[in-house]
Amino acid sequence: MAATERRVALVADAGIYAGPELARHLAGRGHDLVLGDPDPDLLEELGAAGVEVEVVTGVRNLADPAAADALVAATLSRFGRIDAAVAFSGQIVTGRFVNSTIDDFRKVISGCMEGPYHFLRAVVPVMVDQGDGQVLLITSAAAARPTPGAPLYSAARAGATMLARNVAGEVARNGVQVNAVGTNFMDFPGFLIANGATDPEVRKKLEAQVPLRRLGTLAEFAAFCMAFLDGTSRFTTGQFVAYAGGWA
């Protein structure tokens, strides 16, 4: 176990979506890191900055209960504690409800609810024992409003968000914060491809749906998340914030 004066943050998936930017922002705010499945370039960048990093591979699928357990075990083995932990997961299932199947429902529940459950179940008891800790669950802004074309996804995301809020109420007396943030209309390859927005004309139509008339960047989203993770704001728990340019 390393002796360190720095806070320790766990980023469940540092290889995709907001993971790399979350790792960079946490490192810049004095954290050593445990990263799930990071890219080599990110590791080189963090190493050059003097950040202690523990890498855990094969843990991208948080619906597998072994993934969260492996992340937590590696964190405790290397650093002995977890000051902050952040995770995102999900499985987008689109289409009208009246055309859906029970297999569609099971797929979205596995991707959008089982993953968050396993992550919270692995991380939160450690923080309760410590009497301190911050957890941020990244869900979707679709949790905040009915979403035509994705009713199962919207409902499952709302379930994960409410799970986080309920856990927060249960462990607040133990000094543990649990919050959720939900995104939509983010400028990253997966979102652009899924919506056909690699075509500039399609992107313009997509941006027109956003009150701020643009897509959000992962760098600004990661900066927003720091208030829930970096130890500077310790009086907010059980909250959900939609990060979607005013859409929700």
Q: Which fold has domain 7-243?
A: Rossmann fold (3.40.50)
Mean pLDDT of 192-216: 93
Say how many residues make up the chain.
248
Rounded distance, CA 93 to CA 100, Å? 9
Question: Shortest CA distance to 87 belongs to which of 50, 56, 129, 128?
Answer: 56
Q: Where are the domains of the chain?
A: 7-243
Q: Helices H, strands E: what count in the chain?
A: 9, 7
The yes-or-no verdict on residue 3 having pLDDT over 60 is no
* Closest alpha carbon to 152 in 88, 90, 95: 95
pLDDT band at 191 (very low <50, low <70, confident <90, very high): confident
Q: Left if phi > 0, otherwise alpha if psi is -120 to 50, otherwise beta: which for 175? A: left
Confidence of residue 48 (pLDDT cuts 50, 70, 90): very high
At 4, the pLDDT band (50, 70, 90 cuts) reads low
pLDDT band at residue 28 using 50, 70 and 90 as cut-offs: very high
Integer Cα distance of 9 and 23 in angstroms: 9
Contact 69, 52 (CB under 8 A): no
Mean pLDDT of 116-132: 98
Closest alpha carbon to 139 in 207, 224, 240: 240
First to last CA, the chain: 43
CA 104, 105, 111, 112 torsion: positive or negative? Answer: positive
Per-residue pLDDT of 53-69, as tens digits, reads 999 999 999 999 999 99
Q: Is the pLDDT of residue 39 over 50?
A: yes
Question: Percent of the chain beyond pLDDT 70?
Answer: 98
Would you state the pLDDT for residue 131?
A: 97
Q: Give the residue-averaged pLDDT of 149-174.
A: 96
Tell whether the model's pLDDT for residue 195 goes beyond 90: no
Average pLDDT over residues 5-13: 95
Q: Does position 1 have pLDDT exceeding 50, yes or no?
A: no
Q: Where are the alpha helices (DSSP H) in 93-137?
A: 102-109, 115-130
Please give the share of the chain, as a percent, with pLDDT higher than 90: 90
| Average pLDDT over all residues of the chain | 95
Q: How confident is the model at residue 12 (pLDDT cuts 50, 70, 90)?
A: very high
Predicted confidence at residue 90, as pLDDT, reads 82
Beta bridge partners of 11: 35, 86
